[in-house]
Amino acid sequence: MANRRATSKSAGKTRVLLVCDGSLCPVTRFFQTTLSAKQDTYSLTLFNLEDEDSSLSTADGTEGYDGFDLILQTAMPHSAEDLVNALEDAGILDQISKQSSSLEPNPLVLLPGFYQLLGEGAAEFPFPVNLLGYSPLNLLQPERHRVELTYPIDCLDEAKELAGSFFESLGCSVTCYPESPGMVLPRVLACLANEAVSALVEGVASASDIDTAMTLGTNYPMGPLRWADKIGLDVILATLTHLHQVLGDDRYRPLPLLRQKVWANQLGEKTGQGFYHYPDTAFTTKPLLL
């Protein structure tokens, strides 16, 4: 079983399906850049989760694929259900199912693990997968290479090792622990953002004064509202909603202003407007294979 995955590799490469959201967010850019730089080890295929007519694009320009070893989702805050539906609509799931029927365990799936339950996520797939959650929030800023990995209680040790060595091969250090709602950094950041929003809503101070206070008064690397804009207000809201639902504690109740911003598509950097305005957001750029 240990070598099963190795045998499924084409020409010795790990075939990665990178599921992004059609914008060149820093997380997608990180994986694109680092995986493309390791063409001897990885073959990379991109899939846009949000584009209904999306076809797969591969590094060597050929259409199509012959199966995947790793499905890596960078699109946020899409659920495992969104992922499976999009792959199904594009006909990719059938192909993987065929591949999977003869192979156990099936593709390793890595998806954002802080706004959904991993066990529920794994159950969305029509074939068994080894699924782990990760937090890409460190990748939003340079030089923060510690990645959090989290796994459901029935995760295979082999899958944990594979996931860990995948990130290590990209130059990341890894902290791996059993599933915990919101993970560590995303939980803390979502709650800091919610608290900053509550201070804003109460009229305690302006958004920029709140951020200035937290960077100068307690040395945060970024003000919580500016940071929330970078992460995406939809991602912050999804994290808080998940924590609220799973832990049932009122401390995680998202401020209504967060919902209003999300409904208005003021998601932060990626839409050009959040708590601040971003006239030249780089996120409008479509991802392209390098």
Per CB under 8 A, the list member of 196, 207, 237, 262 interacting with other proteins is 196
Per the CB < 8 A criterion, the answer to whether 34 and 44 are in contact is no
Cα(105)–Cα(120) distance, rounded to whole angstroms? 18
For 163, counting Cβ atoms within 10 Å of its Cβ (0-12 exposed, 13-18 middle, 19+ buried), the class is buried
Of residues 222 and 289, the one with the C-beta less far from other proteins: 222
Contact status: 214 vs other proteins (CB under 8 A) = yes
| Binding residue (CB under 8 A) for other proteins from 194, 239, 241, 271 | 194
201 near other proteins, judged by CB under 8 A:
no
Q: Describe the crossing of helices 92-101 and 80-89 by its angle, rounded to 10 degrees.
A: 100
Interface segment toward other proteins; rule CB under 8 A; list 66-74, 83-91, 117-125, 193-201: 193-201
Q: Judging by beta carbons within 10 Å of its beta carbon (0-12, 13-18, 19+), is residue 134 exposed, middle or buried?
A: buried
- With CB under 8 A as the contact rule, the residue among 3, 7, 102, 219 that binds other proteins is 219
Would you say 20 or 137 has its CB closer to other proteins? 137
AA identity, residue 55 = S
Among 21, 69, 148, 229, binds other proteins (CB under 8 A): 148
User: Looking at beta carbons only, is 5 or 187 nearer to other proteins?
Assistant: 187
Number of residues that bind other proteins (CB under 8 A): 47
Q: Which range binds other proteins by CB under 8 A, 84-92, 115-123, 157-165, 244-252?
A: 244-252
Interaction residues for other proteins, span 250-279 (CB under 8 A): 250-251
Query: To the nearest whole angstrom, how small is the minimum distance from the Cβ of residue 143 to other proteins?
Result: 8
Q: Does 85 bind other proteins (CB under 8 A)?
A: no
Contact 150, 180 (CB under 8 A): yes
Nearer to other proteins, 84 or 190 (CB): 190
Given 4, 144, 277, 286, the residue binding other proteins (CB under 8 A): 144
**Nearer Cβ to other proteins (60/143):** 143
Query: Which spans of this chain sit near other proteins (rule: CB under 8 A)?
Result: 135, 137-138, 141, 144-148, 173, 175, 177-178, 180, 184-185, 187-189, 191-192, 194-196, 198-199, 202-206, 209-210, 212-214, 216-222, 224, 249-251
